[in-house]
């Protein structure tokens, strides 16, 4: 049944709610303008520089004896990171016996042909290797699972 | 011993339908097949071992995997029947040109029961510019005749003086040259002095004589960023122009690769150390891989020897037949096809007969 009191109450609370929201956006907008996200071109440059520095560290590791125990280097079998196929991971990796990530395969190579010790998955060296490998295979189509 | 038995069986299997006659010497089989072609020389075979890249760690330690690759090739050649007349070593005995590596390599190769002809590779050369190699192992370029075939060995890994002078120490120079994908790299060349020598060497050789040129780098241009490239290749090719039948065998590229440029057939040799991908799998620069090439299967790193091997060359009636012995993979025979006018893979040339995965992506 129609109740005029209830209608009036609802109408009042709606107006109040509207005022509150408008006030909030006014304050938030002003604060954002002063303290908010300061994104501009220099941010992107900074991030790109950080990425390319990581790629360069990866390239150095990939072409040096540091990762292994027998002076063998990743680039011997993988010039320009070819035949690493990062775009195919995760995939079933026969030598590991399960669906594996690129990081697991990097460690397999470090332990076997390079006769070295595996890296922690969050080791900056591991991240640098991954960055270099992915960068060399940029523009490849993602085909997870492919052999 | 076990490896040797397998390899011999594999070799005989590689000769196709002749398996039933596996106890008959190859030379008899060839006679039974009847003569063909226009060659005048006696039939013979030679083995080709290349690119073992023996690597010194320290003291008496060497990289086990590369040692075992060369040892396997040596044992296989020693167990072959009939035994090849000689073996050609295609270069890159050492990884960084060190005396320890070259001495170690010569010690391993001393077990080979056939004479050996040496070709120098860039990994043997750029530490001391070939001094130790010339003192202890071989001349850098020379020629010899064998059963009616004229063989020429070229040192194809020379480069520009400006590049050589760019580096402060011999070690730095060696390390820069040893990196395949080095943006600071410099292309190889044979050089004018050697081309003059080659012209003189060939002066008295008749045009009908089968000619075999042995080099480390391919004497044509494939991919500059990885130095699969000989800068003065055209000059050398033009010196060989007047011969009816020229074959170039080279190492360096660690893969099955063959080509025909005018009168010259080119065949690449496998590495006993590690395989290299085809340059087309890195598409950031133009490459000139011959269209007729059928790529190897993509290597399986689970198998230590996959993508590596050595070759056995059959000089049959002045046309060669290349038997690629891929240790963890199916053997390949690439031979000159008279009707096509170039070498073809005897089994896998047609796309529908290829093994999966034989495309690189």
A87 and A26 in one domain?
A: no
Residue of B326, B351, B322, B350 lying closest to B336 (CA atoms): B322
Least confident of A110-114, B40-44, B76-80: B40-44
- At residue B356 the predicted structure's pLDDT band, cuts being 50, 70 and 90, is confident
Q: Which DSSP string do the residues of B223-257 spell out, in sequence order?
A: BGGGTB-BTTHHHHHHHTTT-S-EEEEE-SS-S--
Global confidence as pTM: 0.85
Give how many domains chain A has, as a whole number: 2
Residue of B182, B164, B183 lying closest to B173 (CA atoms): B164
Q: Where are any strands of DSSP class E within chain B?
A: 44-49, 56-58, 61-62, 86-89, 116-118, 142-146, 149-153, 211-215, 246-250, 258-261, 264-268, 309-316, 319-326, 332-337, 342-345
Residue of B59, B49, B137, B57 lying closest to B95 (CA atoms): B57
Residues of B in contact with A72 (CB under 8 A): 55, 63, 65
8 A C-beta contact, residue B240 and residue B213: yes
Q: Which DSSP string do the residues of B134-157 spell out, in sequence order?
A: HHHT--SSEEEEETTEEEEE----
Q: Does residue A78 lie within any of the structural domains?
A: yes
Is the pLDDT higher at B14 or at B114?
A: B114
Q: Decide if A64 touches B, using CB distance below 8 A.
A: no
Mean pLDDT along residues A17-37: 67
8 A C-beta contact, residue B310 and residue B47: yes
Residue of A121, A83, A117 lying closest to A101 (CA atoms): A121
What is the structure's pLDDT at B17? 35
What is the structure's pLDDT at B157? 98
Q: Tokens 């690759």 correspond to what residue?
A: B69
A31 and A59 in one domain?
A: no
Q: Containing H/E element for A11?
A: helix A4-35
8 A C-beta contact, residue B217 and residue B157: yes
Distance from CA of B42 to the nearest CA of A (A): 40
Q: Does residue A144 lie within any of the structural domains?
A: no
Chain-chain contact of A79 with B63 (C-beta, under 8 angstroms) = no
A117 and A71 in one domain?
A: yes
A118 and A76 in one domain?
A: yes
Residues of B in contact with A82 (CB under 8 A): 277, 281-282
Q: Does residue A141 lie within any of the structural domains?
A: no
Chain-chain contact of B298 with A83 (C-beta, under 8 angstroms) = yes
pLDDT digits (tens, 9 = 90+) for B271-320: 999 999 999 989 788 999 999 999 988 877 678 888 999 999 998 767 88
A50 and A78 in one domain?
A: yes
A71 and A1 in one domain?
A: no
| Mean model confidence pLDDT for chain A | 87
A122 and A63 in one domain?
A: yes
pLDDT digits (tens, 9 = 90+) for B104-137: 999 999 999 999 999 999 999 999 999 999 999 9
Q: Containing H/E element for B78?
A: helix B64-78
Is the pLDDT higher at B29 or at A73?
A: A73
What is the structure's pLDDT at B4? 37
A18 and A51 in one domain?
A: no
- A65 φ, ψ (degrees, to nearest 5): -85, 0
Q: Tell me how far apart the alpha carbons of residues B207 and B245 are, in angstroms, rounded to a whole number.
A: 8
B8 pLDDT exceeds 70?
no
Is the pLDDT higher at B273 or at A37?
A: B273
| Mean model confidence pLDDT for chain B | 88
User: How far is CA B174 from each of CA B122, B267, B307, rounded to the nearest angstrom?
Assistant: 9, 27, 26
Crossing angle between the packed helical segments B99-109 and B64-78, to the nearest 10 degrees: 30
- At residue B42 the predicted structure's pLDDT band, cuts being 50, 70 and 90, is confident
8 A C-beta contact, residue B43 and residue B317: yes
Is the pLDDT higher at B27 or at A75?
A: A75
What is the structure's pLDDT at B288? 95
Is the pLDDT higher at B68 or at A39?
A: B68
pLDDT digits (tens, 9 = 90+) for B156-175: 999 999 999 999 999 999 99
Full domain range(s) for residue A70 = 41-136
Q: Does residue A83 lie within any of the structural domains?
A: yes
A115 and A102 in one domain?
A: yes
Chain-chain contact of A71 with B57 (C-beta, under 8 angstroms) = yes
8 A C-beta contact, residue B271 and residue B49: no
What is the structure's pLDDT at A36? 63
DSSP A30: H
Residues of B in contact with A108 (CB under 8 A): 301
Q: Does residue A147 lie within any of the structural domains?
A: no
Least confident of A100-104, B19-23, B74-78, B244-248: B19-23
Q: Does residue A88 lie within any of the structural domains?
A: yes
* Residues A56, A60, A65: CA angle, nearest 5 degrees: 165
What is the structure's pLDDT at A7? 56
Mean pLDDT along residues B84-104: 98
A73 pLDDT exceeds 80?
yes
Least confident of A107-111, B300-304, B310-314, B325-329: B300-304
User: How far is CA A50 from each of CA A43, A57, A61, A102, B13, rounded to the nearest angstrom?
Assistant: 11, 11, 17, 22, 56
A76 pLDDT exceeds 70?
yes
Assign residue A83 the CATH number of its domain: 1.10.760.10
Mean pLDDT along residues A9-23: 71
Does the domain spanning B42-347 belong to CATH 3.60.21.10? yes
Q: Tell me how far apart the alpha carbons of residues A60 and A128 are, in angstroms, rounded to a whole number.
A: 9
Helices vs strands, H then E, count in chain B: 10, 15
**Nearest Cβ partner of A70 from B57, B277, B300?**
B57
A19 and A48 in one domain?
A: no
Chain-chain contact of A78 with B275 (C-beta, under 8 angstroms) = no
For strands B211-215 and B246-250, give the pairing: parallel
What is the structure's pLDDT at A147? 83
Q: Tell me how far apart the alpha carbons of residues A145 and B241 are, in angstroms, rounded to a whole number.
A: 50
A67 and A10 in one domain?
A: no
Residues of B in contact with A95 (CB under 8 A): 301-302
What is the structure's pLDDT at B361? 56
Q: Containing H/E element for B194?
A: helix B192-202
Domain boundaries, chain B: 42-347
- At residue B194 the predicted structure's pLDDT band, cuts being 50, 70 and 90, is very high
Site from B53, B254, B302 to mutate, A interface, most A CB atoms within 10 angstroms: B302
Chain-chain contact of A79 with B57 (C-beta, under 8 angstroms) = no
A111 and A45 in one domain?
A: yes
B11 pLDDT exceeds 60?
no
ipTM of the complex: 0.85
């Amino acid at each position: 049944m129609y109740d005029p009191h209830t209608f009036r109450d609802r109408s009042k609370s709606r107006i109040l709610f509207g005022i509150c929201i408008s006030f909030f956006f006014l304050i938030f907008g002003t604060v954002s303008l002063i303290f908010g996200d300061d994104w501009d071109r220099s941010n992107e440059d900074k991030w790109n520089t950080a990425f390319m520095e990581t790629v360069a560290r990866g390239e150095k590791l990939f072409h040096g004896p540091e990762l292994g125990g027998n002076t063998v280097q990743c680039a011997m079998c993988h010039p320009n990171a070819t035949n690493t196929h990062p775009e195919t991971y995760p995939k079933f990796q026969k030598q590991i016996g399960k669906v594996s990530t690129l990081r697991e395969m990097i460690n397999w190579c470090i332990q076997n042909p390079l006769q070295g010790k595996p890296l922690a998955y969050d080791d900056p060296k591991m991240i640098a290797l991954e960055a270099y490998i992915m960068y060399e295979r940029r523009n490849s189509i993602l085909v997870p699972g492919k052999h | 011993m076990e490896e040797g038995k397998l390899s011999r069986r594999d070799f005989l299997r590689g000769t196709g339908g002749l398996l039933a006659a596996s106890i008959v010497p190859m030379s008899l089989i060839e006679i039974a097949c009847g003569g063909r072609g226009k060659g005048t020389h006696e039939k013979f075979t030679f083995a080709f071992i290349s690119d073992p890249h023996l690597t010194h760690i320290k003291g008496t330690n060497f990289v086990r995997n590369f040692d075992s690759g060369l040892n396997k090739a040596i044992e296989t050649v020693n167990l072959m029947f009939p035994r090849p007349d000689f073996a050609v070593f295609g270069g890159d005995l050492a990884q960084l040109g060190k005396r320890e590596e070259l001495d170690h390599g010569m010690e391993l190769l001393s077990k080979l029961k056939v004479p050996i002809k040496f070709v120098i590779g860039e990994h043997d050369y750029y530490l001391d510019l070939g001094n130790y190699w010339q003192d202890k192992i071989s001349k850098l370029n020379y020629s010899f005749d064998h059963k009616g075939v004229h063989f020429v060995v070229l040192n194809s890994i020379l480069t520009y003086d400006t590049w050589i002078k760019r580096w402060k120490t011999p070690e730095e120079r060696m390390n820069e040259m040893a990196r395949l994908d080095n943006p600071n790299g410099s292309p190889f060349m044979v050089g004018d002095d050697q081309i003059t020598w080659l012209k003189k060497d060939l002066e008295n050789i008749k045009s009908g004589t089968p000619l075999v040129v042995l080099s480390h780098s391919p004497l044509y241009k494939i991919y500059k960023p990885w130095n699969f490239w000989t800068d003065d290749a055209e000059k050398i090719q033009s010196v060989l122009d007047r011969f009816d039948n020229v074959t170039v065998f080279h190492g360096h590229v660690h893969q099955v690769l063959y080509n025909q440029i005018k009168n010259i057939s080119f065949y690449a040799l496998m590495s006993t150390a590690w395989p290299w991908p085809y340059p087309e799998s890195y598409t950031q620069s133009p490459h000139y891989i011959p269209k007729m090439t059928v790529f190897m299967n993509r290597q399986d790193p689970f198998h230590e020897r996959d993508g590596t091997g050595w070759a056995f060359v059959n000089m049959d009636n002045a046309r060669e037949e290349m038997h690629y012995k891929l240790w963890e993979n199916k053997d390949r025979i690439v031979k000159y096809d008279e009707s096509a006018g170039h070498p073809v893979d005897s089994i896998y040339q047609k796309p529908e007969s290829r093994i999966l995965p034989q495309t690189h992506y």
